[in-house]
Structure formats: structure tokens, C-alpha cells
Chains A and B, each alone.
Chain A
């Protein structure tokens, strides 16, 4: 065995003298250090949220925003002198928008990371096996149909989008299944096929109902203009449990990065884990898409950015992706509503425009293989 050099001795400390390793060195060796990073990420997220609450097409001074927010606490009333329109804007329009954008960003990034892990493919994003195309078809079908948008107090478009997304994934999954095994490459192919069918059907509907083209296109390109607090309850019941499940499997996802045979030989029930995690991720993505439309780029790029910054260990990659994804989408939405004021720009355009250069920059900083 080669003797340790001084650098290694410094790194391994007492280990170099073959003594039991202290806890801190263990963490350093494993590169985990999750809590400081998480704190940093949450700080960035909070900053982004506050910025987005304070800025908008309607210029409301920052201290007014602070007073309005604080007045929500029981017993506090600092905002009585402020115009009612400002209070309505901050609390009923901007804040739900920020919260929902953050939730959707976190979901898309988490699910993107999960898909990349399960498929062991750096090009995977949460729309890979059909959620986006199915949701788009569902939403378009309702928009162009003579049905009312709201039936009995329930809004139909998000419901149809949710159902469409899940149906597409279920179809892809059942098409790809061979006995009790679902080979990942086959699943990707099935997903691509289902997506193209759904996309062409959507295009067909749009062309044949051209007077609704504008509305369907706006939905498809994604946006948070119509955010309200009630929409939060459409998303949370799916996203929270799904996220909890996925986060629990962080360590197993690491093992899955070996090939499936090796993971199986290490005791992981690969097919069951794949089904569980893809199911959870698809459910959460469908819920997010139903409320925000199809916002691209976040699910693909944020996990890669986290990987470039902090490495491939999924135990930190998953939570950090959520935090950074939320911050990113909050800021993108801020741009979407201010860059062309008073008009709205679909947020999917902003994410594409801003995401690509940012990622290229990160890539140049760390030019080593990170997958």
C-alpha cells in the first residue's frame, strides 16, 4: 500500500494513522455537508421571494409591501393608510403568484432530477414520458370545446390537464412493459411516441379552432397570471406526498446510478423503485402543469446546475434542486410580468432565454464530467 502523502494526511487526518474517523471527517469525505448548503439555498429563495413580492408592473414602494405583509399577522395593522388596491394586489395577486411559482419550480426541478436518476440520462426532464403532451392535449380539448370553463365551481381546464398528463404516462408505461419488467429505453421510446401523438392531436385541435389559438398557445407556453390562493390546494395534495417519498429514496437513487443489474445485486428492488418514483414524479408534475401550463427548461437545467456546483449525490441534489428551482422560477416570473409591462410574457419563454446562457456559464466554470 502506498504511503500517504502530506495532502492525503491532511485530508484524512487521523485516518492516515489508522484510527477511527471522527464524524466531521466522515461528512467531509462523503462531501455531504447538506445543512450549510440548504441554508444558503433557502436564503437565496427567501431573497427571490421578497424581491418578487416587492416588484411588479404596478410600482408599490417596498416599505408599503412590508407593511401589508406584516399586517397579515393577528393584531398587527400597519397598512390602514395604504390604498386598498395596493393591499389587494400584494396579498391576492402577487403573493399567491410568488408562492405558486415557487412551488411549481421546486416540483419541476425535483421531478426532473428524479427522472434523470431513474433513466440515468442527462437529457431527461419531467416531460419525457408524456406528462406535458398529455396535459396540453387535455387543456386544449377543453379550451376549444363548447364547454364552459367552470362547471359547478370546479375549473375544467386544470382538471383536464391533470387527467391528460397522467393518462399519457400510464399509456407509455403499459406499452413499454414486458412481463414484470419495464426496460427504461423502451419506456423512453413509448413516451416519445405518446408525446408525438398527443402533440399532433393538440395542433390539429388548435388549427381547427383557430379563434381559440391565442388562448391555447398562452396556456401551453405557461404562466402564473391567474394565480390565486385556491390554486395552491390543487397542487399541494399531490406534490407534498410525492416529494416526501422521493426525498426518502435519495440514497437508493445513488445506487441506481450503477446499472440496473448491479443495483439489483445490491439488494434494491429495481422495478418497484422505478414504478414508485416515476409514479410519484409524474403525479407531482401533472399537478404542477395543470396549474401553470408547460414550463420548460426548469426540470432539465436546475438539477444539472446543482450537480455542477455540488456533485451528484442525490441526497443533496434533490433538496437543493427544489430550493434552486423555486428561486429560479420566482425570478423568471418576476421578469415575465415586468419586462413588457403592462403585457405579460409567457414565462416559458423567459426560462428558455435566461436558463441557457446561465447554464453555459456554469459549464465553463467546471469542465469536468459530472454525470
Chain B
């Protein structure tokens, strides 16, 4: 569905992405991981044409993104941005309904069908009970879930999530990612998610792409990409990776000072069994 070839993006002198290539198919949950400043947000901005690439191309179902109109693009891809500004005075329902914008003509207003879509999206993110509340009255986590609902209401085949669970507690993190994975499996949506939390990425994503300083440094299944050696070189710190007892998927934790000295004491350096 989504094909990115040799994408290079720069902000003036600063090169944010260098020759990045990746692909995403329908029904896939692709995680983009990497340290701060590695280019994850820029990638998403480039896909939605908020920045112009210096080189390379982005294709949605074979069509160059640059050739689509703003509206067509919005019907293809919905974004959940990282820290979006949300006006305090609008209600949750009003903000969620804004997700229907790409489907409404200039003279049209939201109708019953639109409300049904939005309601379902709000229910899925556990925010329907907040429908008549104003955005200014919500907590950070509730606001984030409303933004996710808005993106769902956009009814697009592709979802781009930029740190979608940064402010959420564990329970709601699970709700969101379970929902996202369900959308992939049952509705065939393609999801590209920039994720900070490596364990979360490891648990949920079908594939991972690791970026470092704008370049792709790893690509493949979570077990492959989340290797201690790669992580140590990218993040500059030793980490522990071990399999989840139930799912077998990798769980990553930074290695504490104590653990590191314990390791040296025992005389073993280097790889841990993953």
C-alpha cells in the first residue's frame, strides 16, 4: 500500500532523512523506532506532504503522493500527531467530527451517517462518554484518545501514528494498541506507528524499522531488529532484551548501573541470550 523509495528530507542545512526506503502493506502494523531526532516524525510529515522531499518518492497504492490533492491524500491517510494543539472551547464530539472533513463538500454539513462513524470511533477509544465535554476539561490522556478517534473517523486505509500513547497510562496504552491491531486484522488497515517505547513496539508490531540519524539501520521482525548489539550502538547504552514469557516477543529494558557492574563482575561481556 505504502512504498517509500530513497526518501531524503532536509530542513534547510539539517538533513533529517537520508535515502530511507520502506514498504507497508494492507493489514500490517509497522513500527518505526529510533532515538530522539532520528527522523520518525519527519517521516510521517513527509508522507502527508507537510514537508517537501529533496529526493526519492512516496507512493500510495502506486500513486505518487505529490500528485494527489490535499483532500485525496486526507482520504488515504489519517494522522495522529504527537502533541497536537486542540482548541479548549470545542466539544469532544465537534473535534472528532472534524475527522469527517475530507468526506464533506464545501456546502455539506455532517449528517447522520457521519455521526454514526464518529460515534463508533469514540466508543472504540473509550471516549464516547465524554462526547459533550469541552476539550479544555479533559486530561492529557483523554485528549490523546479523542485525537485517535478523530483519525479513525476519517476512515482511511492508512493510519499514521506519531507516538500515539505517549501520555497514556498502561491500561489505555493497551486499549489503543489492541484497537489498532484489530483494525489491521479485521479491517485491513495499514498502520505506520512511530513508537518510543521499544517493548510496546516489540509486543504489537508485525515488523519494525529502526532509524538512526535519518538512516534505516535495521528492518525486519521485532526479534531481529531489537538485538542488544544494534540497540547498544544506536542508543549508546547497554540494554537487556528477553522474550515475553507468554508471547515470546522481545521485551527491552535499559541495563541499570548495578546490573552492568554485576555483569562485569561475572566476567561476561557482550551478547545476552535473546
Contact = CB atoms under 8 A, between A and B. Distances in A.
A8 interface: yes
A20 B129 contact: no
Contacts of B119: 15, 21
Interface in A1-56: 1-2, 4, 8, 11-12, 15, 20-21, 23, 26, 29-31
Nearest to B48: A265
B171 interface: no
Contacts of A369: 88-89, 134, 136
A317 to B, nearest CB: 11
A267 B102 CA distance: 5
B106 A252 contact: yes
Contact of B89 (A1, A2, A371): A371
Given A267-B102, A369-B88, A20 B74 contact: no
B129 A4 contact: yes
B164 to A, nearest CB: 14
B32 to A, nearest CB: 17
Contact of A30 (B70, B94, B104, B126): B94
Chain A interface size, as a band, is: 35 or more
A123 to B, nearest CB: 16
A155 interface: no
Interface stretch (B78-86, B195-203, B265-273): B78-86
A240 B112 CA distance: 32
Query: Taking chain B's interface residues, is the majority helix, strand, or loop, or is none over half, making it mixed?
Result: mixed
A96 to B, nearest CB: 34
A351 interface: no
**In this complex, which of B71, B75, B101, B102 has the most chain A Cβ atoms within 10 angstroms of its Cβ?**
B101
B84 A307 contact: no
A4 B115 CA distance: 19
B219 to A, nearest CB: 26
A341 interface: no
A257 B126 contact: no
B14 to A, nearest CB: 18
Given A20-B116, A29-B131, A254 B91 contact: no
A312 B90 CA distance: 7
A371 B74 contact: no
A66 to B, nearest CB: 40
B73 interface: yes
Interface of A: 1-2, 4, 8, 11-12, 15, 20-21, 23, 26, 29-31, 248-249, 251-252, 254-255, 257-259, 261-262, 264-269, 307, 311-313, 315, 368-371
Interface of B: 45, 48-50, 69-71, 73-75, 77-79, 81, 84-91, 93-95, 97-99, 101-102, 104, 106-107, 109-110, 112, 115-116, 119, 123, 126, 128-129, 131-132, 134, 136, 154
